[in-house]
Homo-oligomer: A and B are copies of this chain.
Amino acid sequence: MAAGSTYGTLFKITTWGESHGRGIGVVVDGCPAGLTLCKNDIQSFLNRRKPGQSKFTTARNETDTVEILSGVFEQKTTGTPISMMVWNKDQHSADYAQIASCYRPGHADFCFDEKYGFRDYRGGGRSSGRETIGRVAGGAVAVKILEQMGITFLTYSKSIGPVSIDMNRFDASEISKNALYMPDAKAAAEASKYLTKCMEEQNSAGGICECVITGLPAGLGDPVFEKIDANLAKAVLSIGAVKGFEIGDGFAISRATGLTSNDAFCIKEGRISKKTNHSGGVLGGMTDRAPLVFRAAFKPTPSISAQQESVRSSGEEISLSVHGRHDPIIVPRAVVVIETMAAITILDALLANMTSRLDRIIDFYQNT
């Protein structure tokens, strides 16, 4: 608690910046030395959340070009902090003067004023979606490290408003082909229609994002408070607009029975495995070697241009329409945020896990 801009213990990110300030950035600390890293490794992740890529994203025109300011020497990480930033360019701060004294429904304006006494009202300030740029840049480093260890992420929109993907049509290659990052072309088309209707009605939609992580060793996560799913839940809920987290069968498992929800152990290809994966790859807060599967529920974008009832900070009741350039849905651009926050969490657990057994520690130091 307090000083809430740092996340992680051994692999740690500290983010800074507001929507309409000078820029947005991150300091990655604890990155192991020797990782080959260039600007493009980061940029490719930032491009997945960049605005302006479809009619479903804000028209704010930002290239979000990252600069690496420290921590990399001769194309390799040095073990010292990696500072990265993106300059803000296309701010239309004047758009926000109207809301300086109003509280937008579904936004944190009121809470900021109550907590801090005033707020940077331009574009939501620190609670803007642009805050996630630092997370994505930092998490891109984590993803790259994990990839070298055979750990991979598949993240996508599972549902947009009432439209869910059909697992029978699941096609991972579809994800990058549609603007909604759905692994099901038919669902993506239906969801597009639904979103278009929302936009016409000056309304917005929510959705669910799913992340599948494969290649994890068993035993990641630390009982009892640093369980891997507990930390993933925190990572996911720390993202703006997320209202729910579930792992494996999640809420549905509450209606199942022990017989139908326990995963039987078996021997597959000579090693201990599970016949099913209701647990979502986590037992007792530690990875169980099955794919780790979790979901995040996003609320609809709170900024809508339809009229809403609200108040001024002075205590006057008003009717308000939130103008500006807003996405009608948060989920597609949040997919990469979910993925990178998960990657930081997993990497942190992986590093911590190196210290769990004395024999391995002794081996480590004898071999180095």
Contacts and interface: CB of A to CB of B under 8 A. Distances in A.
Given A78-B119, A219-B115, A355 B362 contact: no
Contact of A207 (B30, B68, B254): B254
A1 B243 contact: no
A299 interface: yes
B272 A311 contact: yes
A298 interface: yes
A221 to B, nearest CB: 8
Nearest to A253: B299
Contacts of A119: 73, 78
B5 A27 contact: yes
Contacts of A311: 265-267, 272
A291 interface: no
Contact of A248 (B243, B272, B351): B243
A300 to B, nearest CB: 4
B222 A3 contact: yes
Given A32-B358, A33-B116, A238-B230, A224 B256 contact: no
A: contact size bracket: 35 or more
Contacts of A230: 233-238
A89 interface: no
A97 interface: no
A245 interface: yes
Most buried by B among A21, A283, A302, A315: A283
A155 interface: no
A300 B257 contact: yes
Interface string A263-299: 1111100111001001110011111110000000111
Contact of A219 (B70, B114, B221, B255): B114
The binding surface of chain A is classed by DSSP as mixed
A3 B12 contact: yes
A249 interface: yes
A1 to B, nearest CB: 4
Given A108-B285, A224-B126, A225-B5, A258 B204 contact: yes
A254 B208 contact: yes
Given A223-B4, A224-B238, A279 B352 contact: no
Contact of A251 (B5, B118, B244): B244
Nearest to A35: B358
Interface stretch (A52-60, A79-87, A167-175): A79-87
A3 B17 contact: no
B15 A14 contact: no
17 contacts: A2-B222, A7-B225, A14-B29, A15-B81, A23-B70, A32-B356, A33-B356, A35-B358, A80-B120, A112-B286, A114-B289, A206-B254, A208-B251, A233-B234, A254-B298, A258-B304, A267-B311
The list of the 5 closest CB pairs from A to B, nearest first, reads A108-B284, A3-B30, A115-B219, A4-B222, A4-B226
